[in-house]
Amino acid sequence: MRSRMPRGFSPALVAGAMLIAAAALGACRDTGGEGKLFEVSGKIFVFNYRLARATYVVTLRPLQPMGEGQVAVASFQNPAGGAPLVVEQKVWPKLDKVSLESPALTCIVKNKPYAIAISIKGADGTVLQKIDTTLMSTEDQSILPDRPLVMDQLYTPNPDLAGHPDGKLPGEPKPDCSKAG
């Protein structure tokens, strides 16, 4: 059975309308826009069970050629409360991404959004771009062992955890999360 078009509508007119609609929808996406240097291409909490530590990791993708002397400064909300954790990373113009990793974290709560503010600075220190985002963890800090499972690059088992294959030590002090917001 052949479908019928209402009177006055030609296939060319319908195709043209669909093309305009597709172009309008494409314009709604955030493609970086003029003047933006970077976009967030990835962000994750990394729970390293072997080292008993968790960190933020954010990856930026350049949208334009990078300049010499640029730096990315990330301010990560501290899950334990208090001042943000600030990391500064040199931007290497020949690399295809910039990775920012926080220091080790404590008090991460599952399904809670944490703020991340990133500034891209030029060689003279002027702010060229600001990026604000949030990150939520699908796990909380309790999944990590109390101490690292290994001691060195040779993966020598931590003698403190002998007899505790889950990495949990009875009576081990827990991080103070009373200031966590």
pLDDT digits (tens, 9 = 90+) for 115-151: 999 999 999 999 999 999 999 999 999 899 998 999 8
Work out how many domains the chain is built from and give that number: 1
Give percent of the chain with pLDDT exceeding 90: 56
Is 170 part of a structural domain of the chain? no
The answer, yes or no, to whether residue 32 has pLDDT greater than 60, is no
Would you place residue 34 in the very low, low, confident or very high pLDDT band (cuts 50, 70, 90)?
low
Is 62 part of a structural domain of the chain? yes
Is 151 part of a structural domain of the chain? yes
Is 69 part of a structural domain of the chain? yes
- The predicted pLDDT at position 173 comes to 84
Is 181 part of a structural domain of the chain? no
Is 138 part of a structural domain of the chain? yes
Six token digits for residue 1: 């059975």
Is 26 part of a structural domain of the chain? no
Better-scored residue on pLDDT, 108 or 9: 108
Mean pLDDT in residue range 10-32: 39
Residues 101-118 have pLDDT tens digits of 999 999 999 999 999 999
- The predicted pLDDT at position 179 comes to 82
Residues 40-79 have pLDDT tens digits of 999 999 999 899 999 999 999 999 988 899 999 999 999 9
- The predicted pLDDT at position 11 comes to 45
CATH number for 42: 2.60.40.10
Mean pLDDT in residue range 34-42: 88
- The residue segments making up the domain with residue 87 are 38-161
Residues 157-180 have pLDDT tens digits of 989 889 888 888 888 888 888 888
- The predicted pLDDT at position 87 comes to 97
